[in-house]
Structure 1
């Protein structure tokens, strides 16, 4: 329905030859008292447009965008926060605590007597001899050292990858993925060595090979994190890390460890359904 428009009252000119009615003049006081409630007739009045009322400085205009929203026609870009790539005590407590522990052991390995450090490395080694006698102890102890120290590529990958994984899935799930790869990749490389020694294909000295560090766990965490990224980040990450692993395997400097890295990366990729469900559960708990 169209809104009813108000009719404007305009004065039309008097046609020629028309007599005007006699003006009776003002009413008598008695009659005026009786006509107080009757509206008086007024002539045409020019209505002035209402003056614009200035808005206070803190009241936004109707055409202005709301605070924090982009202007019309512009694209909102997320703010870059590079500090979220590193662990923090409140945001990623598991990764932060583990990184602090690895920093202490790495500083000890760099400053302590080399003979003492080598003895600790041997006691923490996940070789076949130790896995047969004290499997749980050496699996935990071997994950307390960084092969190559704090400046090794796996130390940097540990900080970035574990931080990103914990932010997306929670600390317990991120640590679980790390330990899963550390344990399974270790067993996948050491059990064949024990069987080869048993059948006589390798010497008995292979039962005491030095094997320690966090690289298997980092490789598994990298593969798992790739499943939580967008495709334009996922595949470059897998190509870059997988290419590094394959290059080490082709160099054939430490074939058992290099095969372990490839196995650990594959284990991480196999956990994609688990970590994706874990991310959904973590986001739901954060919202609730």
Structure 2
């Protein structure tokens, strides 16, 4: 036993009831450090989750401008970014991209923390490219699935022409698609918890129908994300195999156990 270990476990051979505060402090410190590492992984970083980090900065900037900018200018920008049926007919690509640059409700919207937690978790599992693909697919397809029927209903005379110019923007469709994809990659019971919460939100929207297009668009986007799961699972399996090959376990090579540091040795023993 090295000197540090002897000091850490000093008093273990003493009389019964003797206090052993230092090992307990070490154990608490290690647990706190592990908890902090887990909490940090919930947040986007430039190297670990570049898509979420960069896109999140853009959303944060537009959300702050929505809350603090000139109301007339903000209103004009939101109208020009709206994915209503009229704009989709004239300039579809522009408004499909522009509408995803705004957070409905501004900086304090619940969509902001939802985006950070969900999209970060998905990107850490499947990478930036596939995460961006799921988000964009949900945003575009759910928007088209809800707005094109409006255009058809107006053309058939079932809706007034004003329905072509409704204000429609935000990240909720893309976010819901990421929720559907992520729920299939989590371990139990978190997969069922996330899927249950998403289903409850969609059911509430359909029950209330406060905004019919958004209420139908959310379950559509959720199903789109669920439909992306097979491709994402394939990505996760490839990463898992690569990690095993890197450690030598897949090839049956004996890997020597890493030498525990002096600080981690007491915590490892206590945890077991």
Instruction: Give the TM-score normalised by structure 2.
Output: 0.75
Q: How far 1:94 sits from its partner (Å)?
A: 1.0
Q: Is it true that 1:83 corresponds to 2:6 in the alignment?
A: no
Cα distance change of structure 1 residues 208 and 231 upon mapping to structure 2, 3 Å threshold:
same
Q: CA RMSD in A?
A: 2.1
1:254 — aligned with what?
Answer: 211
DSSP-derived class of the 1:269 partner? helix
Conserved in 2, the CA contact under 8 Å of 1:169 and 1:279?
yes
Q: Deviations over 1:85-132 (max 9, x none)?
A: 110111111100000010111111111111110100010000111111
Q: 8 Å contact 2:67–2:107 — kept in the other structure? A: no
Matched-pair contact (CA < 8 Å) for 1:170–1:282: no
Instruction: Kindly state the Cα deviation for residue 56 of structure 1 after the two structures are TM-superposed.
Output: 6.5
Aligned equivalent of 1:145: 102
Q: How far did 1:265 drift?
A: 0.7
Aligned to 1:179: 136
Where do residues 1-288 of structure 1 align in structure 2 (5 Å cutoff)? 57=3, 79-80=34-35, 81-283=38-240
Alpha-carbon distance between aligned partners in 2 of 1:99 and 1:123, rounded to the nearest angstrom: 21
Task: Give the C-alpha shift of residue 271 in structure 1.
Answer: 1.1
Decide which structure has the larger Cα Rg and report it.
1
Question: Is the 1:219–1:265 contact (alpha carbons within 8 Å) kept by the matching residues of 2?
Answer: yes
**Shift of the alpha carbon at 1:284?**
5.2
Cα deviation per residue 1:143-196 (whole Å; 9 max; x = unaligned)?
Answer: 000001122121111000100000000011111100000000000001111111
CA shift at 1:58, angstroms? 8.1
Structure number with the higher helix fraction is 2
Pairs aligned (count): 218
Contiguous gaps of at least 5 residues in structure 1: 1-54, 61-76
